[in-house]
Structure 1
Amino acid sequence: MPATFLGVRHHSPACARLAASVIERLRPAYVLVEGPSELNDRLGELLLGHELPIAVFSHYRDEQRTVASWSPFCEYSPEWVALTAGRAVGARLRFIDLPAWHPALAGRRNRYSDAEDRYLGAVARLCAKFAVDNVDSLWDRLFEVASPEGLPERLTAYFDLLRGESEVGEDDAAREQYMASWVRAAVADAGRKPVVVVTGGFHRPALQRLAVGESDGWPAVPSPPDGTSAESFLVPYSFKRLDAFTGYQSGMPSPEYYQRLWESGPDAAAAGLIEAVVTRLRRRGVPVSTADLVAAHALAAGLANLRGHPRPARADILDALAGALITDDLEQRLPWGTRGALRAGTHPAVVEMVAALSGDRTGRLHPDTPAPPLVHVVTTELASLGLDGDGLVRLDLGRDGHRSRVLHRLRVLDIPGFERQNGPCSGADPVSTEHWRLTVTELRLPLLIEAGAHGGTPADAAAAVLAERAAGAEVGELAEVLFDAVLCGVVELADQLTAELRTGVATASDLGALGRVLAVVLGLWRHGDLWRTDGSAALAGVLAAAVPRMLWLAEGVRGGPAPADPARIEAMVALRDTTRYAALDPAPVLATCRRISADPGAPPELRGAAFGLVWALSASAVNPARAIPGEPRTAGDWLAGLFALARAQVLTGTRGVLTVLDELVTGMGDEEFLIALPALRQAFAYFPPGERQQLAGALLARPAPPGTEGTPADPAAIESTVDSILHAEGLC
């Protein structure tokens, strides 16, 4: 008996109902489902009795690539319904697609993404014919809210049209050949009993053609190559991860709507979701009256009738809610008219509507579900260290180093519920305490399972993630990875990264990036008693190699008036500290900085920073008042560099600097002052509030300029003048 092929759209309630009815009617010997064939020996695990949604998480790693993918299931997924309905009638169940690690699936993070860009032309013509905005509304119009009569024929016509106008790549062709070999084997083994095949509708026409002929026996499940790692585990999933509005490539947005459609039909789903949106808006403090609710119901029914829908569809509900509840002008097109994630600036009421139709359901695995070793190791370790509950945790890095390393490993792995609120942000930050906020969350388990792809222990997994970050990173990013590796206690990787930095600084071309290297490495070298890196010869070698390269780069920077570059300034701060604390010869540093500070072709913030470095480190007297530029366009940027490098010197010897600065600002016209003001504000931001007050006191203590005695400044008048000038110039 030939097989019965059901082409479906993934996560479609209409297709799920069809699959259930066909299987219940035919009571087949085999139910074959598009899914990872490597899981056929573990179907009992898949059907343990989980709370959906769940997903099969698969990962693969070799020397060239790392792949992670998901095969998600919810209650209305046709693949899931086919499995459960098949089991109920005693059918033998098989997944028939290639394993997730196979090169034919290498470009997919989600096995069940519909990849509808392959047939955009056909979809566009169908949308135009049925007067709908996109493929989601088209699908609802043709299948979800339409009469179930003639559904198989409509699905066949739809997918035949899409397949007929699409080119099939080598990857899809390989998958279809493999799936067809399973179909031939099942038909041969079933004899005169039926076989039902449930796959994405795009594949159905090819499978019908390829499945004809003699069977060569059951196909082998491909094994991953030697020396590679490939595993699959079940993970809890959530509707938020399943929703196309959050970027999921499922082909079906608004999973809560389709869940209700599956449970109670389109009329009840429409009514329930209108009320859910109104309830959600009221909880957010948005006033929604009973009249608004009635209007939304009436408008949804009217739109459905106008559009030829037998009952309100998803877009009818959303359009009705927008029409009834939003009175503001919308700056963006309503998001359900397109595909993809919400854009920044979306109207808050629209955000709440989309969230209500997305839902907040989260799956839960059966307690007997196997998990990767990492889950057990982390659970046990957190409990033994007293880090498995909710609350704030303060760690003394000298005493609680192991607890800190465990939390940092979980942070690097992006496990939710471990938020570091403060602590050392770089090696140069001499802070010896950390504060963490721990939160028990249902998202922890799925992401721990997924993190198990990187290793069986937190240290191994964190090392793998950091190694991936380090691959191809420039030196500044490499230094940040090094700091994370030290915080995580991943000693072997930290040693490797230190050696790579020692080589990389010799060819670094970005001054700011090299400055990040100096800041991190110097801090680890100076304050490494917290992390067992103090006095490291390898770190000292990085410092010794980086300083000459930084001097060469700094002297070669050219640039005229422009906003000050904070990265350059911070690089000079790191150079100052390295020269001061790393026992390096200061002579070449001071000589280079004197040249930079006197070079009119260098950017003003770099000139100011170079001057500040000399002032901070030189035993000889300097006169900063003579060096301040008199040009409004450059004075603020120059001061930013000076203040960042020589803040203490400015505070203890303010009279000369403030005198010149006061005279400079007082002599500016309105336009010149407006030009200089942003840079001046940025420059003085290098002083904490207390020090700014000290500077203000010193400035106010100065004698008033001739002709202004007894005329107190009026801050309100000054602010009003500035505002009027800004408005006149079109700047606000």
Structure 2
Amino acid sequence: MPERYYGIRHHGPGSARAVIRALEEQRPDILLVEGPPEADELIEWVADDRLQPPVALLGYAADNPRRAAFWPFAVFSPEWQAIRWAVANGVPVRFFDLPFAYRFIPRKPTADAEADPRGDKPAEPDPNKPEAQPGADQSGTQTPTLDSLPGADGGGAGAEARSPGAPDAEGLGDGESAEDDGPMPGPPAPELRPVDPIGELAAAAGYDDPERWWEDVVEHRQAPAFEAIEEAMTAVRAGALEDPYDLVREAHMRTVLRQERRNHDEIAVVCGAWHVPALRAKVTAAHDAALLKRVRRRGKVRFTWVPWTYGRLASWQGYGAGVDSPGWYHHLFTTTDEVVPRWLVSAAHVLREEGVDTSSAHVIEATRLAEALATMRGRPLAGLAEVTDAAGSVLCEGDDLRLQLIGRRLVVGERLGEVPDGVPTVPLARDLEARQRAARLKPSALDRALDLDLRKDTDLARSHLLHQLRCLDVPWGEPAERRGSTGTFREEWSLRWQPEFSIRLVEVSGLGTTVVAAATAQVTNAAAKATTLADVTALLETCLLANLPGARPAVLRALDARAAEDADVTHLMAAIPALARTVRYGDVRRSDVASVAAVVRGLLARVYAALPPAASALSDEAATDLRDHIDAVHSAVALLGDEAERTRWLDTLTALTTRDDLHGLLAGRLTRLLHDAGRLSTDDAGIRLGRALTAGVPAATGAAWVEGFLAGGGLLLMHDDALLRLVDTWLAAIPPEAFTEVLPLLRRTFGTFATGERRGIGERVAGGGTTRTATAVLDHDTARLALPTLSALLGRRIE
């Protein structure tokens, strides 16, 4: 036979070992691998040791990069090892799956899509024939297990998991599409029975866990079993309806095989085991040509290598051709001896990094337990289930959180691949790589905390880069809450690189060849489309944070235009905080903010004039909204550090407090702001509070005034007896029928106080910190009812 078929399981370490041994034995003239043929020119990079898996081929449409897909490889992927072997031995390699460009063509139902691959006549289902069930072929014969098949005395090949009716997500039969275009030719087939070959074979062998079955029959054996796998796939596939997309793919594969047979005597074919029966089938060239006429190449596609992660390789993240435990499979493939002890040593190391005491005795006992469990369960060797149970019992001492940590760090793994310089890619991605090296920021799949001191050149460059990437919707870094210093020169970030960022870089590459140019264009375009003043001011702050001076003129022009058109005082006030931050932090970031300061002064002047009329006759909701804007502007004016502006702002607030129609919430809040700013003494503030809490003022109005006044926190009440006495007396005098009405406002007000503040206020009231004594409000008759209960609790009689 001119070719040999090696049906593998995508990302199966047993398949990878078996393929290498088989290729060494066959020594083929050419290697055909299931994958996108447009990526053939990138195969040579596999020989470069700097290309470190996990990596993925990224394919995308040149005219619409959002239409993209990945083909991931791990070090234990059979395709990766086969290509590595071929490149090292000078054997030509070719991807021979259906070209990726065909994915983008609208599909129409065709009769040929359901054609029988063994002839030209469309296959029609037999209504009298029962639907095939998992674990049985159409004749009712039980699907054989590897142990019962010819050549089953060895393991090492596996099957790709398939779901007819849908493309392989991320598998090397197809890619994970960033914008799914649906299945290939053929009508919708909701009646197709999803097929999981490994699951069916495991069930036929009496296993409830396909991964455990895979370990027992493949990972714990050394001899290849490609013939057994092919026979098993033939039986499973006979019991399932065909996927029209697979029929077209396999027609193309057979066409490539016919071409290669003319030029080579020894052909090695590495593909998902699901496809092997179809590739061996006797099908005419005319039949395949008829199927392939239904698709056409449309548009140009490009390919590159990008880093990948084991987290994305895990099937639980929606990857149809993935595996549950890529970290464990990596360990199985790369560890030649003492597999279980070495794994448990790694688990102990993970726990020690988190401060958990784990000794060598723990590892020894866990190893013994794992081996004993394998014997009790009748398994040839301890597998992932046994080492997990042993680690949970011995190393983790039954702590599920520790076990989850081992699962995340080891079972799945947090490895991120590397791609060398020189791999064809868009200039924007190249510039980002150079910026990352210059800033000494290496992408990682792990969450990483980054604390920046903007007074340092390197940290400032890092901040600029992270903000520029956020402008491009590449959130490699997310700003974190400051835990320590509140200085303006500090920034804290949480970093984590995601493979999807590679697609986004391709998408925005048309905006510029460098990160700065692309971010500048993005902000400029956003300024032209901004519809509110707040949106534009946020962009102006972005220009400062990301160091984009080229975008600032366009943003300032948009700001002038929006400010001139917008007469709503709340919109003007919403724009000021971001601008004030820009002015305040400009010196830290070494930016010229003189033009921004002029804009802030102009907006403040308009606010001074428009705020008094806007503060009259407000509803509760409008008053709350205006209160929030006043607070924000008050903080912004303080940030500016301009004493003249601060004086004008406080004058405006002072004038507002004299209005009779001012909402109680605003009156109380403005009084508090003026008191904290030194414009009102405590006595003056107490007089205003007393007026608001007099008997003639409705309880709801008084509660709103208190809410506004105390919104700054409870320290004022803790340290001022006069104010505390006023509030306490007012609360005690609220009539029962009105108390229910004001209670939500009071709870909302006092609920914002810190726990220590509430405790301190309560202690002052209970300890006589106010002039209202306990006897003045104590109802002796009611208190006497509690005495029997207190006596029982304390064990002595209370009178």
**Which SS does the other structure have where 1:31 is aligned?**
strand
- Alignment partners' CA distance in 1, 2:616 and 2:277: 62
CA contact (8 A) 2:344 2:391 kept: yes
Amino acid at match of 1:278: A
C-alpha change, 1:662 and 1:79, in structure 2 (3 Å) is: same
| Distance verdict in 2 for CA 1:522–1:285, change over 3 Å | closer
Cα contact 1:637–1:683 (8 A) shared by 2: no
Do structure 1's residue 119 and structure 2's residue 194 form an aligned pair?
Answer: yes
Match of 1:193 in 2: 265
Offset of residue 92 of structure 1: 2.1
Q: Which SS does the other structure have where 1:409 is aligned?
A: helix
Q: What is the identity, as a one-letter code, of the residue corresponding to 1:483?
A: E
- 1:652-667 equivalent positions in 2, closer than 5 A: 657-663=723-729
Displacement after TM superposition at 1:282 (Å): 4.5
Q: Which residue of 2 aligns with 1:351?
A: 405
How far residue 204 of structure 1 moved from its aligned partner, in angstroms, is 4.6
* Equivalent of 1:319 in 365, 368, 389: 389
Report the equivalent of 2:324: 253
Structure 1 residue 233 corresponds to structure 2 residue 292: no
| More moved, 306-315 vs 451-460 | 451-460
Give the C-alpha shift of residue 41 in structure 1: 1.9
Specify whether residues 483 and 291 from structure 1 end up closer, same or farther in structure 2 by C-alpha distance, changes over 3 A only: same
User: Which segment is superposed worse, 589-598 or 239-248?
Assistant: 589-598
Separation in 2 of the partners of 1:661 and 1:33? 80
Pair 1:483-2:541 in alignment:
yes
Within the alignment, does 1:153 sit opposite 2:224 as a pair? Answer: no
Aligned residues: 654
Counterparts in 2 of 1:514 and 1:237: CA distance versus 1, 3 Å: farther
Q: What is the match of residue 623 of structure 1?
A: 688
Matched, 1:50 2:19: no
**Aligned counterparts of 2:433 and 2:379: Cα–Cα separation in 1:** 52
The structural deviation recorded for 1:79 is 1.0
Q: Quote the Cα distance in structure 2 between the aligned partners of 1:553 and 1:140.
A: 76
Of 304-313 and 53-62, the range deviating more from structure 2: 53-62
Is the 1:422–1:436 contact (alpha carbons within 8 Å) kept by the matching residues of 2?
yes
Give the structure 2 partner of residue 35 of structure 1: 35
- Match 1:459 to one of 516, 533, 545: 516
Distance 1:678 1:246, change over 3 A: farther
Which residue does the alignment assign to 2:75? 75
Larger of the two Rg values belongs to structure? 2
Aligned pairs for 1:573-722 within 5 A: 573-574=631-632, 597-598=663-664, 623-627=688-692, 639=706, 641-644=708-711, 657-663=723-729, 679=748, 682-684=751-753, 704-707=770-773
Structure 1 pair 120/638, CA: closer, same or farther in 2 (3 Å)? farther
- Of residues 329, 333, 336, the one that matches 1:262 is 333
Structure 1 match to 2:91: 91
Matched residues in 2 for 1:305 and 1:500: separation? 74
SS at match of 1:35: coil
Contact 2:714 2:754 in 1 (8 A): no
Given that 1:498 and 1:538 are in contact with CA atoms closer than 8 Å, whether structure 2 keeps it comes out as no
1:109-167 CA-partner distances (Å, limit 9, x unpaired): 8455999x983787766665556554433433443335646454236525863795477
1:434 to 468, 473, 489: 489
How far off is 1:49 after superposition? 2.8
- Structure 1 residue 319, shift from structure 2 partner: 2.0
Q: Distance in 1 between the 2:322 and 2:658 partners?
A: 61
Query: Aligned residue for 1:729?
Result: none
State the one-letter code of the partner of 1:659.
R
For 2:272, the aligned partner's letter is G
Amino acid paired to 2:236: L
Instruction: Indicate conservation of the 8 Å contact 2:713/2:754, yes or no.
Output: no
Q: Which residue of 2 aligns with 1:409?
A: 468
Gaps of at least 5 residues in structure 2 are 107-165, 177-191, 443-448, 638-644, 776-789, 791-799
Moved more, 624-633 or 90-99: 624-633
The code of the aligned residue for 2:688 comes to N
Q: Does 1:286 align with 2:348?
A: no
Task: Give distance in 1, aligned partners of 2:88 and 2:440.
Answer: 45
Residue 80 of structure 1 and its aligned partner are, at CA, apart by 0.7
Structure 2 CA distance, aligned partners of 1:210 and 1:678? 80
Taking a change above 3 Å as real, the CA distance of residues 78 and 380 of structure 1, as seen in their structure-2 partners, is closer
The answer to whether the aligner puts 1:519 opposite 2:577 as a matched pair is yes
1:645 offset after TM fit, Å? 7.3
Change (3 A) 1:692 1:407: farther
**2:10/2:171 contact within 8 Å kept:** no
d(CA) in 2 for partners of 1:137, 1:553 = 73
Distance 1:658 1:270 in 2: 68
Query: 1: CA distance between counterparts of 2:544 and 2:239?
Result: 56
2:228 alignment partner, SS class: helix
Matched to 2:490, the amino acid is H
How many angstroms does 1:405 deviate by?
A: 3.6
2:282 is equivalent to residue 213 of structure 1? no
Identify unmatched segments of 5+ residues in structure 1: 331-345, 599-604, 710-723, 725-732
Residues in 2 aligned to 1:168 and 1:624: alpha-carbon distance in whole angstroms: 77
Is the CA contact (8 Å cut-off) linking 2:527 and 2:558 kept in structure 1? no
Q: Distance in 1 between matches of 2:196 and 2:367?
A: 35
CA distance 1:211–1:93, change in 2 (3 Å): farther
Q: Of residues 184, 205, 212 in structure 2, which corresponds to 1:137?
A: 212
TM-score between both structures, scaled by the size of structure 1: 0.65
TM, length-normalised to structure 2: 0.60
Does the Cα contact within 8 Å between 2:527 and 2:554 map onto a contact in 1?
Answer: no
Q: CA deviation at 1:273?
A: 0.9
Aligned equivalent of 2:596, options 527, 534, 539: 534
> 1:572–1:609: 8 Å Cα contact kept in structure 2?
no
Contact 1:33 1:197 in 2 (8 A): yes
Which shifted more, 567-576 or 484-493? Answer: 567-576
Q: Deviations over 1:305-334 (max 9, x none)?
A: 344422222222212322344444x7xxxx
Partner SS for 1:56 = strand
How many Å apart are 1:680 and its aligned residue?
5.0
Equivalent position SS for 2:83: helix
Give the aligned partner of residue 13 of structure 1. 13
Rounded Cα–Cα distance in structure 1 between residues aligned with 2:536 and 2:467: 17
Residues in 1 aligned to 2:271 and 2:409: alpha-carbon distance in whole angstroms = 30
Q: In terms of mean alpha carbon deviation, does 494-503 or 84-93 score higher?
A: 494-503
C-alpha distance in 2, partners of 1:136/1:320? 18
Whether the 8 Å CA contact 2:28–2:267 is kept in 1: the answer is yes
Q: Which residue of 2 aligns with 1:713?
A: none
- Are the counterparts in 2 of residues 420 and 435 from structure 1 also a CA contact under 8 Å? no
| Matching residue's letter, 2:325 | S
CA spacing shift, 1:556–1:639, aligned 2, 3 Å: closer
